[in-house]
Amino acid sequence: MKTIITYGTFDLFHVGHVRLLRRLKKLGDRLVVGLSTDEFNKVKGKEVIIPYADRYEILMACQYVDDVFPEDNWQQKRDDIIREKADIFAIGDDWAGKFDDLEDIVNVLYLPRTQNVSTTELKTVLRKIDQDKIDEVKNVASHLTELVSKL
């Protein structure tokens, strides 16, 4: 049995995540995912929208994922790979070169990301929507203030 291991936050689960997990699953028989905890994401400077328990449930419901475990820190990957008896460690190519030190125990692959979709882009759009709503409320408040002053 060939085991694939990967890591990620998987916040705002989207088609890019699905496509990555499908490609990873095709590499072997078993796909295990180290899911970054909310606390670890804070250490990484990432703000998550979906809490860990919900992201865990989403990943476990994905047909390509066989198991999910918490990722609490940068240093745990070596132990996780050994514990899971992973044959391949694969992750998006935005991490290219960052995990080459694991090649003594596992085959390391960096896969291209799905074009034109990312959680960061989704969060940017959501922030813009939020800002547009704030601007709209300010505009209405300004208009109301103007109307009240005329009374």
Q: How many CB atoms lie within 10 A of CB 99?
A: 19
Architecture of domain 3-114: 3-Layer(aba) Sandwich (3.40)
Walk along the chain (151 residues) and give the pLDDT tens digit of each residue. 999 999 999 988 888 889 899 999 999 999 999 999 999 999 999 888 889 999 999 999 999 999 999 999 999 999 999 999 999 999 988 899 999 999 999 999 999 876 666 666 655 655 665 666 655 656 656 666 666 667 6
Backbone angles phi, psi at 114, to 5 degrees: -70, 130
Angle at 123 between CA 15 and CA 120, to 5 degrees: 65
Query: Which string of DSSP letters, residue by residue, matches 58-108?
Result: HHHHSTT--EEEEE--GGGHHHHHHHHT-SEEEEEGGGTTTTGGGGGTSEE
Q: pTM of the entire structure?
A: 0.77
* Catalytic residue annotation: 44, 46
Both tokens of 54, joined, read: 């919900």
